[in-house]
Structure 1
Amino acid sequence: MKLVNDFKDFLADTVNLNQNRITQLEARVEAIKSFLRASDWEPTISTFIEQGSWAHDTIIRPVDGGEFDADLLVKVRRVDGWSAAQYVKELGRVFLDSGRYADKTQIYDYCVTITYADDCKIDIAPVVMDREYQGTLEVCDRRNDKFDESQPIEYTRWMREKNSYSGNNSFRKATRLIKYIRDIKKRFSCQSVLLTTLIGHRIEWLDKDSDPFADTPSALQTIMGRLDDWLQARADKPVVQNPSLPSEDFADLWNDTQYANFRNFVNKYRKGIDEAFAAGTRSDSIEKWRRVFGDEFAKGENVKKAEASATQQVRALLLEGAAHLDSLVDNVIDFGISVLPSWFRTPPHLQAPRWPPAENVSRNVQVFAEYRESQYSGRRHRINSGEALPPRGGLWFDVRVNKFQTVPTDYYVRWRITNTGAVAMALNKGRGGFEKPIDGDRRWEALQYRGVHMAEAFIIRRSDDRLVGFSEPFYAVIK
């Protein structure tokens, strides 16, 4: 069953970025524009350009305490003698020198990011116009000090044209729903520009006013079906051209393992969507839609939840202790880390912190992880907590406080690494103790043993060896 009205409520109540956040975002962007125009930043500003999901109207509400990003391009005239890096560095300087933005500013490769106390980040990137010849737009790569051609206006036009082929903005709404699946399930990695490009290629001019795009659930089923068919025909990572700049391959944002994982889970969710459509009763259909979207879908309905049986099975498996059977890993891969009970994170071999707590202990500590095929080689790829990983390569764990700030030098970091699973425990590799970083505050961990493993960051004050903060566990699920 399609349950069109339930989808309308689900988008409004859960998926869509709510209006007060949009209003606040717009006000912040206008303040940034006014600030830059009045600043001493040398480039002459031509105009500002909205980019990304904000411009495409596919931005969604952050899930699980995450953040939503808005991208703002500053279109400027070239400054004689300036390198690419200089545009970004000088833009960062202007914000860092201000009383208003200094404590919110971080400089990255292509942009300056302003992070607010709530869940909003605004990325401001300079775009240089007409540098080599009339009509060119180039973003600035600070790290490699080079200019890269970009066509953000054309890409936004392409996305809006794709939406125009659908009825009732169903393409745009289905795009938000697919992004929501990615964010709430955390089963696959796919950066938004790559995901929206893949989705955009699934609708063409001949689909205009057709039944497959007449409403939101129909558009969702059509897009996921077409995307799955396309992926299943390509066992190896394909080329995904930027439609506005064909020389750019967005598939470079994946490694081969991430592509294979994405391909598998699109197939899984496509089947789940088809089953929800085919359900004969409203109750059965809601249950099946919840397998795809979680309990927030039709949340006023009292129906059987698919995750309940999985949670029950996981609890039974955990009675075996930390040396649980491999089937627990399968349940976590299928349903996400939400099926794990809270006491999973405290197995018997876990060591308690040995540092006395400070007067205030912060929980605003975040762990991030990047996958590499080996410790110092191979491409880096950001990994989500709970994402299924192969038993090879490894993860570089890093830590931030207050969402984006590095740990101050008068504090030090210790990592608690806890392994679970039958193989690790049989080999006495459960660990659960504290380890030192090996590169700054970062720690490398090889991926070897099938199981659901945890990494936590603890921050200790140097002056008195007191614990001042610690993170939530980062779950590494090894297949």
Structure 2
Amino acid sequence: MTPVATRIAEALIEDLAKSLEVPISRYESTDRSYKSLARWLEREHSRFCEIHTDVYVQGSFRLGTAIRPIGADEHYDLDVVCEFAVSKALKTQKALHADLGHELVDYAREHGMDAPSPWDRVWTLNYADEARFHMDVLPCLPDSQTQRQLRLDHTISMDFVEKAVAITDSKHRNFDRISDDWPASNPNGYADWFYERMKVVFETLRKGIALADMRAEVAEIPHFMVKTPLQSAIQILKRHRDVRFSEEKIKRPSSIVITTLAAHAYQQEADISGALLSILSRMEAFVENRNGLWWIANPSDPRENFADSWNDVPDRKAAFDDWLETARTDFRRAAEENDPQAIVELLSPRLGRELMDAAINRSGRQMTDRASTISRMSRSLRRILDAPHKRPASWPIVKTGQVAIRSAVFSRDGFRDAHIASDGEALPRGGSIRFEAVTDVPTPYNVFWQIVNTGSAAAEAKDLRGNFEEATISRGWLVRTETTKYPGAHSIECFVVKNGYCVASSGPFVVNID
């Protein structure tokens, strides 16, 4: 059963979505930029002046799911498609790619920009630093006829086939020769499918904006002025993903996977929290297993599998599963809360404290006394609590007992054993620590330890940890031994679980290592 958010949680999630939103001025700026490029390609002396050209946006700006960059140094990515009415019988991929590059070089020079960068499929236009975005420009040709025949041959859906295009790719076997076999794509078809998935809510909101602005025609309202709960939920999930994998970027689930599964799972919920919680509960149902292969079909071209990389690198499927379970736990627990500061503490590790503070300040909410307590925390403890890879406890929490780490003894060859305190002086590497916990919870129960490493050394070694590790209980002793391997702040915490409920937790014991 999908949880229902409290009124306070719902309001805070609404403010969170607003804090993530790309300003309307940014949409207007990118709109002007790609239309400027379209005019350039159609000018009298362009290599494409006698060819019908359709220039349009694809990706997150087209779908309304772009989010503000995390840091001041990060830029927006604008994905633009240039569709030229040219036959594959007259043009190679290489020639089309080069012709577009020639025009972009001239465009950049005319507008005082750095020269564009060529890539396998696209050219990148780098705008001035103050603009804070770059434009990836993809050349392509209409390809509906070829794609229709291919789908007929494979007996698969014809949905959106009329929007199919053939794209350039320097790694393709036919890149430099005339051939009907080009890589395929369908950005317009995907966008049509995506908007169809939220059509009811989108049209309702669009009509409301038209009435409020007293405009005669709903069609006058640009798509970027409308924000549905599906779009906001995807924005929140993308930021959650970005922060969760900020130190493990290679494992990060792709935006197209998150967007596609979320759109499949959306059921026209009218509020963001309802959409978010419903999507998280249902999205994995749209991941298929076809004869041992993970498969997420491109809705606009069912032959394309968005989960290809999961089959090539199984760790990426495991990373997606881990992220999904973490997101479910984070937002379920946040939805149950009535204390805004508690919600901030639950979501900050994987959404960012700066973003959560911005969200909570939008409505000037009053914080509890916990805020001042948090401000007095040590840097090491704050680093542990905000570690994005620190998994939240997924068990329902019903505190009926206590557990505490009673002692921690540091050992190193050639030195006398020493008792240490939590968050004490930094220890040298190359030693070990024996932790002993005690609990008043009556048996039977299960014990789990959570070890969290931080710092670049642990990240480079792919040993950040953060999951729950079940312990073997011997004669009632709750004992764990860990090594002092990586510099930085680290923690260990003991959890007691009884009948599926977390009935006691020790709180993090912080260990600093030189």
Q: TM-score with structure 2 length normalisation?
A: 0.58
Is the CA contact 1:175–1:199 (under 8 Å) kept in the aligned structure 2?
yes
Per-residue CA deviation, residues 295-347 of structure 1 (Å, 9 max, x unaligned), is: 22244354547896894176838822566989999535xxxx7xx6xxxx7x9
Letter in 1 for 2:321: R
Matched residue SS, 1:58: coil
Query: Which among 9, 15, 18 is matched to residue 9 of structure 1?
Result: 15
Per-residue CA deviation, residues 334-381 of structure 1 (Å, 9 max, x unaligned), is: xxx7xx6xxxx7x9xxxxxxxxxxxxxxxxxxxxxxxxxxxxxxxxxx
Tell me which residue corresponds to 1:181: 240
Tell me which residue corresponds to 2:95: 86
Letter in 1 for 2:426: L
Matched residue SS, 2:452: helix
Is the CA contact 1:228–1:270 (under 8 Å) kept in the aligned structure 2?
no
Mapping of 1:161-172 within 5 angstroms? 161-166=196-201, 169-172=228-231
- 1:331 paired to 2:331: no
Tell me which residue corresponds to 1:74: 82
**Number of residues of Structure 1 aligned to a counterpart in Structure 2:** 341
Letter in 1 for 2:274: S
How far apart are 1:166 and its partner, in Å?
4.8
- 1:247 paired to 2:254: no
Is the CA contact 2:330–2:346 (under 8 Å) kept in the aligned structure 1?
yes
- 1:103 paired to 2:114: yes
Q: 1:125 & 1:262 partners in 2: Cα distance?
A: 28
- 1:190 paired to 2:259: no
Distance 1:229-1:154 versus aligned 2 partners, 3 A rule: closer
Distance 1:127-1:271 versus aligned 2 partners, 3 A rule: same
Q: 1:215 & 1:105 partners in 2: Cα distance?
A: 42
How far apart are 1:246 and its partner, in Å?
0.4
Letter in 1 for 2:237: I
Per-residue CA deviation, residues 401-453 of structure 1 (Å, 9 max, x unaligned), is: xxxxxxxxxxxxxxxxxxxx94579xxxxxxxxxxxxxxxxxxxxxxxxx9xx
Distance 1:237-1:23 versus aligned 2 partners, 3 A rule: same
Letter in 1 for 2:304: E
How far apart are 1:132 and its partner, in Å?
5.9
How far apart are 1:237 and its partner, in Å?
6.3
Is the CA contact 1:127–1:137 (under 8 Å) kept in the aligned structure 2?
yes
Is the CA contact 2:429–2:485 (under 8 Å) kept in the aligned structure 1?
no
Q: 1:293 & 1:68 partners in 2: Cα distance?
A: 18
Distance 1:318-1:29 versus aligned 2 partners, 3 A rule: farther
Matched residue SS, 1:71: strand
Q: 1:62 & 1:199 partners in 2: Cα distance?
A: 21
How far apart are 1:268 and its partner, in Å?
1.2
Matched residue SS, 2:121: coil
Per-residue CA deviation, residues 17-51 of structure 1 (Å, 9 max, x unaligned), is: 11232222122112211122225324723312221
Q: 1:287 & 1:232 partners in 2: Cα distance?
A: 35
Letter in 2 for 1:137: V
Tell me which residue corresponds to 2:31: 26
- 1:320 paired to 2:329: no
Is the CA contact 1:85–1:143 (under 8 Å) kept in the aligned structure 2?
no
Q: 1:218 & 1:310 partners in 2: Cα distance?
A: 35
Distance 1:28-1:239 versus aligned 2 partners, 3 A rule: same
Q: 1:249 & 1:50 partners in 2: Cα distance?
A: 22
Per-residue CA deviation, residues 127-176 of structure 1 (Å, 9 max, x unaligned), is: 20158659552111122216122222121011111123558611111011
Tell me which residue corresponds to 2:321: 263
Tell me which residue corresponds to 1:148: 183
Tell me which residue corresponds to 1:138: 166
Is the CA contact 2:253–2:319 (under 8 Å) kept in the aligned structure 1?
no
Per-residue CA deviation, residues 237-277 of structure 1 (Å, 9 max, x unaligned), is: 62010011000001124421122112112101211111111
Tell me which residue corresponds to 1:199: 262
Distance 1:279-1:314 versus aligned 2 partners, 3 A rule: closer
Q: 1:324 & 1:49 partners in 2: Cα distance?
A: 60
Tell me which residue corresponds to 2:342: 284
Q: 2:182 & 2:288 partners in 1: Cα distance?
A: 36
Tell me which residue corresponds to 2:137: 124
Bigger-Rg structure (1/2): 2
Is the CA contact 1:237–1:259 (under 8 Å) kept in the aligned structure 2?
no
Matched residue SS, 2:46: coil
How far apart are 1:54 and its partner, in Å?
1.0
Matched residue SS, 1:124: strand
Mapping of 1:304-383 within 5 angstroms? 304=370, 311-312=380-381, 316=423, 319-321=426-428, 330-331=451-452
Distance 1:57-1:386 versus aligned 2 partners, 3 A rule: farther
Matched residue SS, 1:66: coil
Tell me which residue corresponds to 1:435: none
Q: 1:324 & 1:88 partners in 2: Cα distance?
A: 58
Query: Which among 29, 53, 62 is matched to residue 55 of structure 1?
Result: 62
Query: 5+ unaligned residues in a row in structure 1: which ranges?
Result: 348-384, 392-420, 426-450, 452-479
Q: 2:274 & 2:230 partners in 1: Cα distance?
A: 10
Per-residue CA deviation, residues 271-297 of structure 1 (Å, 9 max, x unaligned), is: 111111122444433432434423222
Q: TM-score with structure 1 length normalisation?
A: 0.61
Distance 1:231-1:72 versus aligned 2 partners, 3 A rule: closer
Is the CA contact 1:232–1:263 (under 8 Å) kept in the aligned structure 2?
no
Q: 1:129 & 1:228 partners in 2: Cα distance?
A: 33
